[in-house]
Amino acid sequence: MDTFALVVTIGVALFFTYTNGFHDSANAIATSVSTRALTPKAALAMAAVMNLAGAFMGSGVAKTVSEGLIQTPVGSKGMGILFAALVGAIVWNLITWYFGLPSSSSHALFGGMVGAALAGGTTVYWHGVLEKIVIPMFVSPVVGMLAGYLVMTAIMWIFRKANPHKAKRGFRIAQTVSAAGMALGHGLQDAQKTMGIVVMALVIADVEDYGDPIPVWVKIACAVMLSLGTYAGGWRIMRTLGRKIIELDPPQGFAAETTGASIMFTTAFLFKAPISTTHVITSAIMGVGATKRVNAVRWGSRRTSSWGGSSRCRPPRWWLRRRSGS
């Protein structure tokens, strides 16, 4: 196997991880920044560190990506299939980042893998694609929205008699923890997806055998690139998640982040399913926002060009004293 082709493919995979980091950094920190629980720089630094840590927490998602979606292709054609899949995913990441669309980097990669495999005559494991990709793609946003709604409803009931100013200050501190959990889950999910691609490239090049554990250097490289990309920031998408869909207060940001992190950990450890962190946090934000009233959520939102919000998005009655004194 041509060593140059292997090096190029791994390099492109790591670049995809970098674009994944700055494309999806909004997932972990947009709500914390928009509620002023964290400053942008502090939020990005925290997210980068937690992404790095999350990448070392498991390997189930990487195994699904490397062995459960398509048959490992062979020879130079096999490396070309991986290269085409990665380039397609990178192009989509850059386009959606430019327009501020919180799309899924994960599904861009999986779609690229399946499309390149079909074009290259490689077997697609449709059962695995259906079970691990398609079903979670539809189920996870629904679960995220319902869970976000229920978590926020529970918070509103538990703190119904609390002083609004004290409660908001407390949740602003709590958001530091929930944002860290969200970033940890992002590292657990998204770094492993690239690990799976790199492992597949190593198997094609006969450097590794099928079923071997992930080399430590692969984990480190993918984790570092994801962290670097995260620290670079994705401000366009952050505006969409943090303001355009719904204006969030600290309790709502905490509820959305807690919901998203819980779903990502559950799917990674129990089901080994590579879900979209973007879909999960976006749907959780919608579910949380719907507790104000359903039309408070801008359901048709796709992008934004400013941080400005809307006066129509008011908090619940018990939360009406907005921002003053907080």
DSSP, collapsed to helix, strand or coil, labels residue 303 as coil
**CA 224 vs CA 48, 115, 144, 195, 317: distances in Å:** 9, 28, 28, 12, 45
Fill in the amino acid letter for 156.
M
Q: What stretches of the chain show up as alpha helix (H) in DSSP?
A: 3-34, 40-54, 60-67, 75-98, 105-119, 126-129, 135-158, 164-186, 192-204, 216-232, 235-239, 250-266, 277-289
**What average pLDDT does this structure show over 72-92?**
93
- Burial class (CB within 10 angstroms; exposed 0-12, middle 13-18, buried 19+) of 299: exposed
Fill in the amino acid letter for 247.
E
- Least confident range of 31-35, 281-285, 300-304: 300-304
**Tens-digit pLDDT profile for residues 204-234:** 999 999 889 999 999 999 999 998 988 886 6
Tell me if 122 sits within 8 A of 85, measured CB to CB: no
Q: Which percentage of the chain shows pLDDT scores above 70? A: 83
Is the model's pLDDT at 5 over the cut of 80? yes
Higher pLDDT, 289 or 303: 289
Is the model's pLDDT at 90 over the cut of 50? yes
The pLDDT score that the predictor gives to residue 310 is: 39
pLDDT averaged over every residue in the chain = 84
Tell me if 62 sits within 8 A of 190, measured CB to CB: no
The pLDDT score that the predictor gives to residue 101 is: 79
**CA 263 vs CA 29, 143, 148, 207: distances in Å:** 17, 8, 11, 35
**What average pLDDT does this structure show over 115-121?**
95
**Tens-digit pLDDT profile for residues 270-281:** 988 899 888 898
Tell me if 98 sits within 8 A of 236, measured CB to CB: yes
**What average pLDDT does this structure show over 244-268?**
86
- In the numeric block, which tokens belong to residue 312? 């129509």
